[in-house]
Structure 1
Amino acid sequence: MLRRMVQRPRPSLYVSVDIEADGPIPGPYSMLSLGAAVAGRQDADGYVPAGPKAATFYRELRPISGDFVPEALAVSGLDRERLRAEGAEPGAALRAFTAWVRRVSGDAQPVMCGYPASYDWTFLYWYLIRFTGESPFGHSGCLDMKTLYATKARMPLRAVAKRTMPRELLPTRRHTHHALDDAVEQAELFNNLMAWEGAPPR
């Protein structure tokens, strides 16, 4: 009788990503900055965190339209007029990001993670496909930290906020709305969540 070989899954490399934008959706509005930090690597033997500042990426991008929502722009404090003159061309920025993701991933499959991931993923994936024609994360390589916490905490997703989390899970770094600062902060949160055993059964 032949013994079936058990194939080990490919490792995953988790990349914390944060973006700042000037509106609610990509296309009519622009992604103005992109920050990323390697959070850690997971294989069949477990999860190994990385130093949140060990491998990072940051770019500020030229706006792609004249439309913006003042309240959204005020969150980051980025200057659209300066970015029109000094911001990176989106295609060049996204190609550089893709090359960085592939380099730091090595033999692992990259996974974008964010808190929450939905807004950042929407802009990131749209920009990747629009300006490079591909995504290093595929179409679904995205993990939402809010969902991860809700599952481990045995809480309804819409009841989750950082203020509901145990203090020991929260990152020591501040949330500044600078894309790289926030990507590094989120990487710390992700590492804490991966190490946390979760809430006991009720």
Structure 2
Amino acid sequence: MSAARRTTPTVYVSVDVEADGPIPGPYSMLSFGAAVAGHHDADGFRRAGRQAAGFYRELRPVSERFDPQALAVSGLDRAALLTGGTPPEAAMAAFCSWVEQVCAGPDGRRYRPVMVGYPAPYDWLFLYWYLMEFAGRSPFGHSGCLDVKTLYAARAGVPFAGIGKRSMPASLLPDLPHTHHALDDAREQAELFANLMEWDGPEH
């Protein structure tokens, strides 16, 4: 079997979550944003670019508990979201539909979605829990996520511990602001991911 036939076309979806605490359930996801980062098949990786499709929702909290420090990061008005936020069921159903739409690749083929995060564990924890709890399914399956920090460690050949954006070459870093607005940050990390995918590695 050829390599091309073994390759599953993949669409990478950058996701950023803003929450009011460390774990879903006792705490709430208040907003999340997603942006297509690129497409990958046997012919290689193709970045989607800054004008790629995006998704954003602000959600109604699901519990009474919140960490004021976590809430302050996003700057979202939790009291306003209690009355005006999108119900989680509606938000996750709409997100599943959006992911299905972006799985239709630019070449007419169906692409398998993979969530990209920086760092992925926190965002994936909230996203997967909300998908299963309120939509009953995950378009990414149970493990379809890729951590950008891990990708950098592997490509750069450096230990994972201590990696941060300040430790990365300036050429990899997007010239986009990190605003803590979930869609802005999803687009920023989509560009970082694309830069990493196209990177030749550290100079020796």
One-letter amino acid matched to 2:201: G
Alignment correspondent of 1:150: 153
Post-superposition shift, 1:8? 3.4
One-letter amino acid matched to 2:58: E
Deviations 1:64-91 (A, max 9, x none): 0110000000000101110011100001
TM-score, scaled to structure 2: 0.94
Please tell me the root mean square deviation across aligned C-alpha atoms, in Å: 1.2
Q: What secondary structure sits across from 2:66 in the alignment?
A: coil
In 1, the alpha carbon distance for the partners of 2:71 and 2:51 equals 26
One-letter amino acid matched to 2:147: D
Identity, % of aligned positions: 64
Q: Do the aligned partners of 1:38 and 1:52 also contact (CA within 8 Å) in 2? A: no
Which of 183, 191, 195 is the matching residue for 1:192? 195
Q: Do the aligned partners of 1:170 and 1:189 also contact (CA within 8 Å) in 2? A: yes
In 1, the alpha carbon distance for the partners of 2:137 and 2:174 equals 32
Post-superposition shift, 1:152? 0.7
Q: What secondary structure sits across from 2:177 in the alignment?
A: coil
Q: Do the aligned partners of 2:11 and 2:103 also contact (CA within 8 Å) in 1? A: yes
Which of 67, 74, 77 is the matching residue for 1:76? 74
Q: Do the aligned partners of 1:53 and 1:184 also contact (CA within 8 Å) in 2? A: no
In 1, the alpha carbon distance for the partners of 2:52 and 2:9 equals 19
Post-superposition shift, 1:197? 1.1
Post-superposition shift, 1:200? 5.1
In 1, the alpha carbon distance for the partners of 2:23 and 2:70 equals 11
Alignment correspondent of 2:65: 67
In 1, the alpha carbon distance for the partners of 2:132 and 2:84 equals 23
In 1, the alpha carbon distance for the partners of 2:89 and 2:201 equals 41
Alpha carbons of 1:172 and 1:5: their partners in 2 closer, same or farther (altered >3 Å)?
closer
Q: What secondary structure sits across from 2:6 in the alignment?
A: coil
Pairing 1:11–2:9 present: yes
Gaps of 5+ in 2: 105-109
Deviations 1:129-155 (A, max 9, x none): 001111000001000000000111111
